[in-house]
Amino acid sequence: MARLTHMAREGKAPDGRSSRWDAHREVRRAELVDAAVRAIDAHGPDVGVASIAAEAGVSKPVLYRYFADKDELYAAVGQWGADEVMDRLLAAILTEASVRDRVERGVDAYLGAIEEHPNVFLLLVRHRTGHGDPLADGKARIAATFARVLGDTLRELGVDAAGAEPWAEGLVGLGLATGEWWLSRQTMTRTAVGRYLTAFVFHALEGTAAELGVPLSALDAPGLVPDSVSPITRRS
């Protein structure tokens, strides 16, 4: 993390001159992320730091007070995008409906979200955090949430839950790749991609569940899901 001066003080007597900025820093950082999002929307996922700074009405060194390097800034944008997507996706999924319907609504919510900020989405697809920290980039964040939901559900049902992680990662990759293809080629309407993607995902889930000996209808009640979700998706 980019650290401002006061972090050098090692937790000794709390000095008001330091703490009075705590709130400010957060909001400022958010503003900068916002500016970065605007810049990326406008100039594509490969904008230079200079352009982002300009969009924020600020010079580079200011930016570097809040983000250690470009990677960290991009990671923050990625998380912003991931939250954007997950907020809608979860809202669509955590409803009372058949699994098929929930998948369909989730997929549509997802496609709608990435359609609004295609460039940010591309960033999310491409960015890899250097220092292997999961949760650092948006993609990993989404995968972690999926893994958690899947894992909890499987454990709840008393079946082998080890597949949760690979499946979560795979699902994310599936969605990202389909989304990227759709956005960059625009050769198919949103509802059409949605239909195909929904079918694919649903059948993968359905068949896998069946193989584990669980009738899919056991999942029609979404009761257990919210708890396992909140701690990760919500912004800190």
Partner DNA sequence: CCATAGCCGTTACCGCCAGTAACAGTTAAG
Partner DNA sequence: CTTAACTGTTACTGGCGGTAACGGCTATGG
Closest by CA to 118, choosing from 164, 64, 179, 75, is 179
Instruction: Decide: is 169 part of the binding site for its own copies (CB under 8 A).
Output: yes
Instruction: Decide: is 28 part of the binding site for DNA (CB under 7 A).
Output: yes
10 Å CB burial of residue 123 (0-12, 13-18, 19+) is buried
Number of residues near DNA (by CB under 7 A): 28
List 71, 156, 169, 180, residue binding DNA (CB under 7 A): 71
Quote the tokens at residue 184: 């960059």
Residue 38, binding choice from DNA, its own copies, none, Cβ under 5 to 8 Å by partner class:
none
Nearer to its own copies, 78 or 175 (CB): 175
CB of 157 to its own copies, least distance (A): 16
CB of 60 closer than 8 Å to CB of 49: yes
Nearer to DNA, 18 or 208 (CB): 18
Instruction: Decide: is 62 part of the binding site for DNA (CB under 7 A).
Output: yes
Q: How far apart are CA 84 and CA 162, in angstroms?
A: 28
**Residue corresponding to tokens 């979700």:** 229
CB of 70 closer than 8 Å to CB of 220: no
Instruction: Decide: is 167 part of the binding site for its own copies (CB under 8 A).
Output: yes
Sign of CA dihedral 39, 40, 45, 49: positive
User: x/- site string to DNA, residues 29 to 58, per CB under 7 A?
Assistant: -------------------xxx-------x
Q: Quick one: which segment of 19-27, 74-82, 187-195, 227-235 binds its own copies (CB under 8 A)?
A: 187-195
Q: How far apart are CA 29 and CA 236, in angstroms?
A: 13
133-152: which residues touch its own copies (CB under 8 A)? 143
Report the interface residues with its own copies, using CB under 8 A: 126, 128, 132, 143, 162-163, 165-167, 169-178, 180-182, 184, 187-188, 192-193, 196-197, 199-204, 206-208, 210-211
Report the interface residues with DNA, using CB under 7 A: 4-6, 8-9, 15-18, 20-21, 24-25, 28, 48-50, 58-62, 64-65, 68-71
